[in-house]
Structure 1
Amino acid sequence: MADNNNNAEAVLVRLDETARNEAQSVLFHAYREEPTFQYLFDHRKPGYSQRVRATIRELIDLYLELNQDAIGVMVDETLVAVAFVGEPELRLNLADQLGWRVRMVLTAGFSSTRRYLEYHRRIRDLLPQRQAHQLPLMGVNPKYQHKGYGRMLLQAVERLCEETPRGSGLVLDTGNSRYLPFYESEGFRSLGKIRLGDFEDHVLFREVLADEDQSSEPRQQQS
């Protein structure tokens, strides 16, 4: 996810429900090979891709229903990177989202839903006392990785958070340790780790200052 200076063709956009299918495709390809998703949705059993696809679809629908921010990077009219941002006040407890739970059980299965809810609860237990934005979904299509789009997207998320001074910072997590140097280079520090089978998921926090530069705002996606 190294940055470069060849992003002249890349455009930041705000996403709405019209981008649902494209966003789902980007995130599916980004998360399918991730250790955290492979553990939570048991990649050794048949139907793994279906469970991942269903979970991403239901999470996207939930965050759109809750009117949370979503931004992306477009290259030559193709959506290549996506991020969904949870507001500081949300502190979402998925276990309380009955409609979401029912849809998850029906599409991803009871076992996967239960495991994901427990994983989400453990993340919530590590969150800072002060309210912070959360980044539950962020991914770059593997075909477009290592071109700087991940850094471009994350920095846009950080600027979005700076516009909301009531939040103390930004929280994200990753089960892929090779991404840690990238996040550390963006100022993230560890809040703790969650043991998932034979590996650990890292929960990270970056303080966000409201008086930092707020240039390069995403434009509204054109339908």
Structure 2
Amino acid sequence: MIKAEVVDKTTVIKVLISSFEDNQSVNFIIRKDEKRARRIQALMDYSYEICSLFGEVWLSDDKNACALILYPQQKRTTLKSIWLDIRLIVQAVGLSGISKALKREEKIKKLQPRENIAYLWFIGVDPEFQHKGIGSKLMKEIIAESNRKHLPVYLETSTLRNIPWYEVLGFHTYNQLELGYTLFFLKREPDK
């Protein structure tokens, strides 16, 4: 696994767009209209930038998979983060979607832990390279990195078929939330 650099941003966003195009959670935030592709790109750009500021962005060695890790305990309000939030609203969520997005985030935050964690915001594999072990290898490396930092890994997924994969990697579901779709909350404690 390699840490993404600025030159890798386009690759990361491309992998995330192709991996999350049909994701229920993304579709909850992004309207299905003629600007949908640009909106998804803006969401992934925002996520990349936030994780670059307050976390880490990782790529598989072949750059066909990526993961965005956020350390919520490091997140701060800065001029750049405010600018990124405004840009997200304008480019991805839209003014009419602000209320819906904020209500969803409020419900999610109530169920998330208040401890130091590694939050796996996104993990994606280019669809051409899925089911070849690239995502599993990347996830195992993320777990190892979190173990070195003595941090549990938390994530949410709306993709039911991914839950068994996460369970094989040591995650368990600790909560769920109904939002018109089911959002599952998973965590993995660090190895002792």
TM-score by length of 1: 0.77
1:133 corresponds to: 118
Contact kept? 2:48, 2:57, Cα under 8 Å? no
2:177 aligned with 1:190, yes or no?
A: no
Contact kept? 1:81, 1:141, Cα under 8 Å? yes
C-alpha distance in structure 2 between counterparts of 1:191 and 1:126, whole Å: 9
> What are the superposed Cα offsets for residues 167-189 of structure 1, whole Å, 9 maximum, x if unpaired?
3x110111110101101111111
- 5+ residue gaps, structure 1: 1-11, 212-223
Contact kept? 1:54, 1:104, Cα under 8 Å? yes
C-alpha distance in structure 1 between counterparts of 2:89 and 2:129, whole Å: 32
Q: How big is the shift at 1:91?
A: 6.0
> What is the aligned-residue RMSD (CA, Å)?
2.1
Superposed, 1:80-159 pairs within 5 Å as 80-87=64-71, 89-90=73-74, 97-108=81-92, 109-159=94-144
Which structure would you say has the larger Rg? 1
SS in 2 for 1:130: coil
1:60 to 48, 54, 64: 48
Residues 161, 107 of structure 1: CA spacing in aligned structure 2 closer, same or farther, 3 A cutoff?
Answer: same
2:37 corresponds to: 49
1:178 to 128, 146, 161: 161
Residues 23, 30 of structure 1: CA spacing in aligned structure 2 closer, same or farther, 3 A cutoff?
Answer: same
- What is the number of residues matched between the two proteins? 189
C-alpha distance in structure 2 between counterparts of 1:47 and 1:183, whole Å: 32
Residues 139, 153 of structure 1: CA spacing in aligned structure 2 closer, same or farther, 3 A cutoff?
Answer: same
2:189 aligned with 1:207, yes or no?
A: yes
Which structure is higher in RCO with an 8 Å CA cutoff and minimum separation 6?
1
C-alpha distance in structure 2 between counterparts of 1:133 and 1:122, whole Å: 20
Q: How big is the shift at 1:146?
A: 0.6
Residues 18, 116 of structure 1: CA spacing in aligned structure 2 closer, same or farther, 3 A cutoff?
Answer: farther
1:72 corresponds to: 59
SS in 2 for 1:193: strand
- Which residue identity lines up with residue 185 of structure 2 in the other structure? V
> What are the superposed Cα offsets for residues 113-143 of structure 1, whole Å, 9 maximum, x if unpaired?
5433433332221123432210112111111
Q: How big is the shift at 1:20?
A: 0.6
C-alpha distance in structure 2 between counterparts of 1:113 and 1:19, whole Å: 30
